[in-house]
Amino acid sequence: MVATPNDDTKDTAMSHTPRTPPLSAALGAFTDASSAPADSAADGAVPAADSNPDGLDLSLMKKKKKKVKKEEDGEAAEGEAAAGGDEAIDLSMKKKKKKKVTKEEDEFAKKLEALKLEGGEGAEAPADENVQDGDMDKGTGIWQHDETRTINYDPLLSRFFALLAQKNPDHASSGTRSYKIPPPQCLREGNKKTIFANLPEICKRMKRADEHVTAYLFAELGTSGSVAGSGQLVIKGRFQQKQIENVLRTYIIEYVTCKTCRSPNTELSKGENRLYFITCNSCGSRRSVQAIKTGFSAQVGKRRKMQQG
């Protein structure tokens, strides 16, 4: 159910955040509230209120009222109340509830759990109202040591990933995350030419010279072209974005990524004997790459003129 993954992630985030004891305390209160009703079914609404000491938003207040009403109405109305009370819960939840009508306490605990869940969901809305900001590293705002407010899920999650990246710098550069370049922008110039508008941007991203990429594009596409004013590449022939993209992809495999660790953080340099080498900045591996060769290129059009001329 929805509650489970939510709680799980909270738990993980919590275990990775040793610097914020108040958080765990708050979460503890949260979990206590769910288990508490078995003991104190009569004042069921109270633990819910305790779990959110800051004074909950309106949505939760509403639910609290519903809760109280449910208690008064007793078992008879429970089915209906459950249906009305938690719109967010799926059918399976309701079914389970109906099955357990006999066990009042279980039922109540379940409902409280549902309430808690809804409170968690509702917390996303109030997050806009009382923004949980503050510097995580400096420990200000919500991250203050003696801060007792419950930290929202989103900042906790971002904190987890920030710490993960911080503590394991190798992680980010390993092959797990795919290498992304902006998609090539292709415009048509007239009927026979294609403009590749963001070539400089892509080259910058790949850390390769424009000329090198251009030479490769021309060699692979079997055509020629020129560079327009603002670094745009004018290619003879009609090409679609997808086609250019495919060529760029092979270029990245051939001339950008490290074959050993697959990191795109590499440098292309001209070594001795007119060989080009790719040096990986992540693992230090060095490999040679083929020089760009145009190979055979057929005479296209204007053949007669060429032969005569």
Partner 1 sequence: MSGATEIQNLKSRDPFAEADEDSGQTTQTQEYIHIRIQQRNGRKTLTTVQGIPAKFDHKKILKVIKKEFACNGTIISDTESKGMGEVIQLQGDHRIKIRDFLVDNESGLGLDEKTIKIHGF
Cα 263 from Cα 256, distance rounded (Å)? 8
Least distance (Å) between residue 251 CB and partner 1: 12
Q: Which of 49, 127, 252, 283 binds Zn ion (CB under 5 A)?
A: 283
Cα 33 from Cα 21, distance rounded (Å)? 18
Three-class DSSP category at 277: strand
Least distance (Å) between residue 260 CB and Zn ion: 5
Cα 231 from Cα 257, distance rounded (Å)? 24
Q: x/- site string to Zn ion, residues 263 to 282, per CB under 5 A?
A: x----------------x-x
Q: Cα angle at 207 between 204 and 209, to 5 degrees?
A: 80
Q: Which of 40, 130, 260, 297 binds Zn ion (CB under 5 A)?
A: 260
* Cα 132 from chain centroid (whole Å): 20
Query: Is residue 286 a contact point for partner 1 (CB under 8 A)?
Result: yes
263 touches, from Zn ion, partner 1, none (C-beta below 5 to 8 Å by class): Zn ion
Evaluated on CA atoms 73, 77, 78, 84, the torsion sign reads negative
Q: Please give the residues from 174 up to 203 whose contact with partner 1 meets the rule CB under 8 A.
A: 192
259 touches, from Zn ion, partner 1, none (C-beta below 5 to 8 Å by class): partner 1
Yes or no: say if 285 and 260 are a contact pair by the CB < 8 Å rule.
Answer: yes
Q: Which of 186, 258, 278, 292 binds Zn ion (CB under 5 A)?
A: 258
Instruction: Give the footprint of partner 1 on this chain (CB under 8 A).
Output: 192, 219-223, 237-239, 242-244, 246-247, 259-261, 274-275, 283-291, 293, 295-298, 300-301
